[in-house]
Chain A
């Protein structure tokens, strides 16, 4: 490569000698006219704007921007931040390439072709809003509010979601962050400890960090990663259970190469060992748990040997892990995880993690689960109204289908209803910031939903795959161009601080929106007016919404801006375990609902002969399927190689870098190919890919068709019975090469 450059340059310069050089250059040189500097200037002397709040993912790091000639040229961590400090991740740094992405949606568009095969015509906002308002109103008039379904994601989707849920009155809202991500974790913990766990684990002060499937390093949230590394630097032992030698496994002291789907069996064996050998925290169990006896009986069958066999790991290693946890309790982090939509048995795994934390007494202690006391904010949005459960699909036929569902309605209930028209028709669809083609399994089924609609509207910043199914497509201002939600938190600024410091950081626009992009309050209000809800509109602008939300904190957008974009105030320590804090080791409530009262292992389907289980996860440079068209991030990881065990690869005759496609056990083929990564760092019975690649929308000029869309291969649907959340790792694939299907060796 280097040689080619030299040679090419050499030839170019040699040929230049034969022709004349442009006169202007010679003249300039001779008259000493100052030439433009060849050296990029750096951003040190550019204007700094404060108040940026990142949304390349949902972690919301606080930023400052560097502006030159009205253009945002760099983003940096806000030096005033006590959360992320001056750090932002790759995605955060690449935010300006989303802002100025040439493929970004610029104007309201009307699909004058077919859904899924759009032909776009630019229309005015007036026409677009009239169309959305009248079509959605027609659906409500004909079918009732339940005739509308909503697929929201991200900060900008909260306001319109509340409008459709509260004011219009549909239950049919499916947030990807709940039903295809963390919802089952949240409800499992709520059923166990009465609150969602978030990621409130004090890894920085932990003696042991226990991760089940978390792959920090590939999955990046800045302050969380900082705490994780602080913990490791402080000497914490790291245990990682993962079928793959993940970025976290590579830093671990103990890697548990567990068989996919068997995590709960593993956790039950650890807990049973702690109980049988009286290595649990008896004081905590006595004071803060319920149902210990029933719980211990229920898990008693899970001996080390039984779990070893089920999970395909050594019994001695299970014991080693249990002993290490017990020896360091209570200052141990049992990480609740985040993305939990794995196998359709995930509620029970969440329960097991919550119960294991209790046995170790690791709630409200240093190094354990330690929720911060955050500043209070006002709640400002569309007024909550009661709409009853008559049209709530989760309550249909007087039966609660998924009693531990997160807020909204389980996606599959909405899709089945939309496609079948039973128990009622769903005819209008609002997609706001979500890309259901790549967040929800079984793309053909999703297409059926869109085909069944009278009207589909999408609002987004980028032309994601789902936007091809819109009738009206609206361009939204990005997180860098609008006011919006507020990040609050509390943290110890210095390790030896007695009290934590609280922070309040609202989102401010860093530059004006370009073209005809509008924010969610404008779009929602205009639609609401057209649907007859003008009198219910809670705020006239996003700025007003944020200021009203700040009221409880006695701050304003103006006061915080003057403080550098972040307000700091003294906080209070999390304190000891609240007296009424109870962990349901055995939950009568869950048992009454018809599910196991104690955490229970539910085996998942085994890998059929000739196949491998398809696993997927995060790339450090991407958030879901939202960032792939970002030119900097794309170049950092242009495709998603498939991880393949080295002995399997040898048997298949595949080597590193070979191009392969996929076919799943239901005969669905991948649209594109990717390359093979050959490694001993993955089990033989599975393959692994980064999520979010291989998009089809031709409007995505950078990432379109690059890598493989693993979601297109996830066609078999698994539903977690308690929560109604999807499980997405129960699909099986074979590799294909040059048109030939390769049977995975036994």
Chain B
């Protein structure tokens, strides 16, 4: 205590106190950072140390309703480079450039980038052989990662519906885009801890998060029916060289889409060489146009439901035109259909007759039914780019608009709207939301994760009315304008349509969309098929001539594929003078050659095989075929005569 200065001693004590206080504050701060902020900072620090190597999930496959793959994955490895692990950039660049067919300089630039992982564009989705080649080079810092490429085994088949994916396997159009989230799954990764120079840090374990593969999508599409539809469109395309074509097949009792196709089409593997408007427009749901006479089904259903007409008893006289508010609306048939029942009005697709029905309903009722059948609004189908169509604003509908709407002019609708609406008229009266995704299936276990069920929107007409519509439309095919769709034994009903195309508010000359919408069997409809052909060449542009036979063929083969049994009680087809006579195929199986010669046939025989006895025939007994058709028979040995089999 030699320094006796009191002030100095006091001040020294203060200095000590302040000093210790500051140390205490700093220690509290240290504790705050380590004990309270610690977890947050540790997480952030971990993020800054960790590096992720992504692991791509497998994209879900798209299957038809019976499990036939429509979109699958092909192994297509991808080259990754970790620049910091590359030991000899010049040498690596040279070898890699050779393998990938690139310039050495370009590769060098990629592999010396200051990033963790580099993907060389030319090294993405390469073939397995190429991958093996690169792997055998054994280059440090160059990795081959498993990757996949989308593969569409059927090519252009169903391409608009399926859509396609881009380089990162991301959905770009169609279902691939609509259900991208479910299909793509979740990326996985290997997370490892790295020092600031990109090298693995010691003593910290890697963390692997496996990718979650996308779910498999099972569609309502039936590939058998789709195949038939594609075939028929191909034939029609070759025959008529149309500007475009649309076909939809749907189960009328559920709204499940069984087939959907259009022309022009494209191969998803090659979409880059196709104009965007082709692959971006799925015509069956996108396009809107005047439906023409197929729309008369709606007017008919409304008039029947409102009991404004008795098809068999009420008569109508068609002079070939009708005057509405000073305007003259012509029937498609010059000179008119004369006196007819309303059933014949439907069969003949007689415009003045439908104008009459429209007037009996009045604009309020007619337009209410049109909307109730789903026109003027999207159907809600799970596909990209659905159109809405255009209806007259009810307030501004005058007598002329009412009249034209009644026979399908002056409204604009989408094909899918027509299919859904017509399905409602014949399925017992219920409007369903059409849909195409049926089930989501776990790719590992095959377990169904979720399932779409039919969604009934509303009842539009009664069961009884629906029955009458079916009867009227079956008679259109058997006796009226839809004869081309007639299928022996399958009771096809339907309606033709021929609509003049409009452009810029004007109708185009000699340019029609001809269509047919059919369903079968008429007693219990299992299938609705709509076909529209845009501007067919080299033919009369009538729906009954061009579209109806296509629907007939699709219907016949599809119903058979679905296992629908042929019916009895079919309305007999009214024969035109040039219609071939139909005969029933006799049972030839078991007959000997001699027996055959004794039979009197109006059919030709195409014999194959050696032997004495008919062991097979096509078509089978009971099928009706045109007179003069060829029956193929296969001869074989008698069932009991084994020795002759080896002759």
Q: Do A and B bind each other?
A: no
